[in-house]
């Protein structure tokens, strides 16, 4: 078997090199949650998959969501998490798990899930500080947060040797901006790889843009996903190095907050709240991936 590195641009240019969206994810996306029948269909679908249900129930039982009693059924989990969040979390677990390779290599699946969940929760916290008319939809925010770094899974899927070398450098060059290391090593960085997968799966333009441009929110092409792109960018800066060895430029400029309709004077309190929530999210036992 050859150990020659994969030409990433050639690989993603061939649609069959990217995994197909899992069937269960296609079914979930097709459900209309605005109807009672759609809600019932989603919960019924989850009940047919005990492992997936257990992961959702486990998440609902974490202190992060404030359950007053132990959650033991998918119906109770839906009451705690809300049906739109159930849908987004389920999609996130399913599509990310479809890219998991075993053995795992140097990519920390559990850490990636913790990081992704923390960013998803941070997006909601940021949105609550924004003017109501600027807020993205809750399901859109949660899915973008969970999938924003899926490009690392794509790289691991296409070329695990190269993925291992990248994450080794992330770990040994702690604190260095990860995008700089990617630029030195990869033809396509994790943002580009994630964006290509999202486009291949025909996800909404706003999600594609959030995955593709969250490290460069000022790119003109990011407009299709604003303000979601800028929200993910800010969340990543606040949570730099959380869960995985991925480091973003730490500075959040006043104009970034203003771009979301948030008074920069209130930003310190917001950052503190997001950091606290991230620490609480660590209490989610195990990884939802795999």
Same domain, 64 and 135: no
Whether residue 103 has a cis bond before it, omega within 30° of 0: yes
- The rounded distance, in Å, linking the Cα atoms of 290 and 270 is 33
- The pLDDT score that the predictor gives to residue 203 is 93
The CATH number of the domain holding residue 119 is 1.10.3210.10
Please tell me whether residues 86 and 103 are part of one structural domain: no
C-alpha to C-alpha distance for 82 and 99, rounded to whole angstroms = 26
Say whether pLDDT at 40 is over 50.
yes
* 2 domain-assigned: no
Which of 90, 112, 142 is at the close of a domain? Answer: 90
Residue 69: phi, psi to the nearest 5? -145, 165
Would residue 267 count as lying in a domain?
Answer: yes
Q: Which residues contact 30 (CB under 8 A, 6 or more apart)?
A: none
**Contacting residues for 201 by C-beta, under 8 A, at least 6 apart:** 21, 95
The CA distance from 16 to 161, in Å, is 20
Residue 205 located in a structural domain:
yes
Residue 130 shares a structural domain with residue 265:
yes
> Could you tell me if 56 and 111 lie in one domain?
no
Secondary structure string (H, E, C) spanning 51-62: HHHHHHHHHHCC
**What does DSSP assign to residue 201?**
T
Residue 134 belongs to some domain of the structure: yes
C-beta of residue 140 within 8 angstroms of C-beta of residue 206: yes
Of 225, 154, 230, 222, the C-alpha closest to 188 is 154
For the chain, the domain total comes to: 2
Is residue 106 included in any domain, yes or no? yes
Per-residue pLDDT tens over the stretch 214-249: 999 999 999 999 999 999 999 999 999 999 999 988
Look at residue 279 in the predicted model and tell me its pLDDT. Answer: 87
Angstrom distance (rounded) from CA 269 to CA 271: 6
Is the domain of 263 the same as that of 197? Answer: yes
Q: Could you tell me if 159 and 271 lie in one domain?
A: yes
Residue 1 has pLDDT above 60, yes or no: no
Regarding whether 273 and 150 lie in a shared domain, the answer is yes
pLDDT tens digits, one per residue of 6-30: 777 776 766 567 788 898 899 998 8
Is the bond preceding 242 in cis, omega lying within 30 degrees of 0?
Answer: no
Cβ(208)–Cβ(224) below 8 Å:
yes
DSSP of 128-197, one letter per residue? HTS-GGGPPPHHHHHHHHHHTTTHHHHHHHH-HHHHHHHHHHHHHTTTS-HHHHHHHH-SS-HHHHHHHH
pLDDT for 44: 92
Is residue 1 domain-resident?
no
Count of Cβ atoms closer than 10 Å to residue 244 Cβ: 23
Same domain flag for 57 and 80: yes
151 closest CA partner among 120, 116, 102: 116
Structure-block tokens of residue 147: 């999938």
**Overall size of the chain counted in residues:** 290
Q: Which whole number is the average pLDDT over 109-128?
A: 94
* Residues 75 and 155 occupy one common structural domain: no
- 165 and 60 share a domain? no
Q: Are residues 216 and 117 in the same domain?
A: yes
Q: Is 210 exposed, middle or buried (0-12, 13-18, 19+ CB in 10 A)?
A: buried
The model's pTM? 0.90
CA distance to 126, 235, 290, per residue, from 117 (Å): 14, 11, 16
Residue 286 counted as domain residue: yes
Domain that holds residue 27: 20-90
**Tens digit of each residue's pLDDT (9 = 90 or more) over 244-263:** 999 988 789 999 999 999 99
In a domain, 160, yes or no: yes
What is the model's pLDDT at position 225? Answer: 96
Spatial separation of the C-alpha atoms in residues 138 and 124, rounded to whole Å: 7
- At 18 the pLDDT is 78
Residues 107 and 71 in one domain: no
């Amino acid at each position: 078997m050859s150990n020659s590195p994969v030409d990433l641009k050639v690989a993603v240019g061939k649609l069959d090199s990217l995994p197909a969206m899992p069937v269960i994810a296609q079914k979930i996306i097709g459900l209309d949650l605005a109807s009672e029948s759609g809600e019932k269909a989603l919960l019924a679908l989850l009940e047919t998959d005990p492992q997936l249900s257990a992961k959702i129930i486990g998440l609902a039982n974490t202190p992060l969501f404030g359950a007053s009693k132990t959650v033991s059924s998918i119906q109770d989990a839906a009451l705690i998490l809300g049906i739109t969040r159930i849908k987004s979390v389920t999609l996130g677990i399913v599509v990310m798990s479809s890219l998991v390779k075993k053995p795992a290599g140097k990519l920390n699946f559990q850490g990636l899930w913790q990081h992704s969940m923390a960013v998803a929760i941070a997006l909601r916290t940021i949105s609550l500080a924004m003017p109501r008319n600027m807020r993205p939809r809750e399901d859109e925010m949660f899915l973008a947060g969970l999938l924003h770094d899926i490009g690392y899974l794509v790289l691991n899927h296409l070329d695990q040797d190269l993925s291992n070398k990248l994450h080794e450098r992330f770990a040994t060059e702690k604190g260095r901006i990860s995008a700089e290391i990617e630029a030195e090593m990869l033809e396509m960085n994790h943002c580009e790889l994630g964006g290509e997968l999202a486009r291949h799966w025909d996800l909404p333009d706003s999600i594609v843009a959030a995955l593709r441009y969250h490290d460069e929110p000022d790119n003109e092409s990011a407009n299709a996903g604003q303000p979601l792109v800028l929200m993910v960018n800010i969340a990543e800066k606040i949570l730099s190095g959380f869960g995985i060895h991925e480091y973003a430029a730490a500075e959040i400029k006043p104009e970034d907050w203003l771009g979301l309709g948030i008074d920069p004077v209130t930003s310190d309190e917001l950052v503190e709240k997001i950091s606290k929530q991230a620490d609480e999210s660590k209490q989610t036992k195990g990884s939802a991936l795999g």
